[in-house]
């Protein structure tokens, strides 16, 4: 019995030797992992970049076919703000951008202009979105905006517009409303921020019963509101025309039945 206990004690007292390279290997592995995490955090792509939801311009011009509700579009890639839009197909919304006054698409040569956010920035941001929450211009004016202004008749404003001021206790405080004549005689409603650094003027136009075009630009360009409105609608009309199937060549068309 004594011999067995002594053997067990000797076994438990034995020192287990580890390879001399094990601890340095563990330390080196820890340093590498920490360095990788550090680099990923500071210089790696963000979650938004991985998902394609961070602004990422491109100067490629190939057309991207997109459907939003019942609106079909073929948009040159250099008008899109986010890489996720360039996969095409059905979407709930798409964000576009261009430079005033000619609605120029993105190019690397003009990247600095697209990155500007100052009060004179020439960038116009456009969003086409499926929605059921936007009224047509006339009922929106009468039911939503006019009850929130200080003077329902407004006053003469600049650039052929009528000027309205929202009451401070409304959800539109800090903004002015300008009303002009839009397409087909419908009112053109522009809501413009008075406070820096925003200073945006924004407008909403229904493209169909459930699809809306929203665009915004800096208030400094308000004098050109009519031209901007016409050009924005013409650009979207072009994208819609590009999405329509091309007519077959004349020689392939079927002759009418006699």
| β-pair partners for 90 | 67
How far apart are alpha carbons 97 and 81 in whole angstroms? 6
Give the mean pLDDT of the chain: 85
Whether residue 240 contacts residue 66, with contact meaning beta carbons closer than 8 Å, is answered with: no
pLDDT tens sequence across 153-195: 999 999 999 999 999 999 999 999 999 999 989 999 999 999 8
pLDDT at 38: 46
pLDDT at 45: 43
How far apart are alpha carbons 129 and 213 in whole angstroms? 7
Locate all alpha helices (DSSP H) within the chain, ordered by sequence.
2-12, 22-43, 47-51, 111-115, 137-140, 225-243
pLDDT at 32: 67
How far apart are alpha carbons 205 and 200 in whole angstroms? 17
Q: Which of 146, 142, 131, 139 is nearest to 213 (CA)?
A: 131
pLDDT at 247: 64
**Four-residue CA torsion sign, 142, 143, 144, 146:** positive
DSSP state of 106: -
Residue ranges in the chain whose pLDDT is less than 50: 36, 38-53
How far apart are alpha carbons 233 and 217 in whole angstroms? 15
pLDDT at 114: 97
pLDDT at 195: 87
pLDDT at 133: 85
């Amino acid at each position: 019995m004594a011999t067995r206990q002594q053997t067990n004690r000797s076994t438990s007292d034995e020192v287990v030797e580890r390879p001399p390279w094990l601890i340095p290997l563990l330390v080196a592995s820890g340093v590498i992992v920490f360095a990788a995490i550090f680099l990923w955090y500071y210089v790696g792509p963000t979650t938004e970049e991985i998902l394609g939801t961070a602004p990422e311009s491109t100067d490629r011009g190939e057309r991207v076919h997109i459907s939003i509700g019942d609106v079909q579009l073929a948009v040159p890639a250099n008008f899109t703000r986010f890489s996720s839009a360039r996969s095409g197909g059905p979407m709930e919304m798409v964000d576009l951008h261009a430079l005033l006054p000619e609605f120029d698409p993105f190019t690397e040569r003009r990247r600095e202009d697209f990155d500007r956010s100052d009060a004179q920035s020439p960038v116009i941001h456009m969003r086409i979105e499926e929605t059921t929450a936007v009224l047509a211009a006339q009922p929106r004016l009468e039911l939503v905006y006019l009850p929130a202004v200080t003077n329902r008749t407004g006053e003469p404003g600049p650039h052929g517009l009528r000027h309205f001021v929202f009451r401070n206790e409304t959800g539109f405080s800090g903004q002015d409303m300008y009303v002009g004549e839009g397409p087909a005689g419908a009112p053109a409603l522009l809501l413009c921020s008075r406070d820096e650094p925003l200073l945006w003027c924004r407008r909403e136009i229904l493209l169909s019963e459930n699809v809306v075009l929203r665009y915004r630009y800096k208030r400094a360009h308000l004098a050109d509101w009519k031209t901007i409105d016409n050009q924005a609608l013409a650009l979207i009309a072009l994208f819609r025309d590009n999405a329509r199937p091309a007519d077959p060549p004349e020689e392939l068309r079927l002759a009418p039945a006699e």
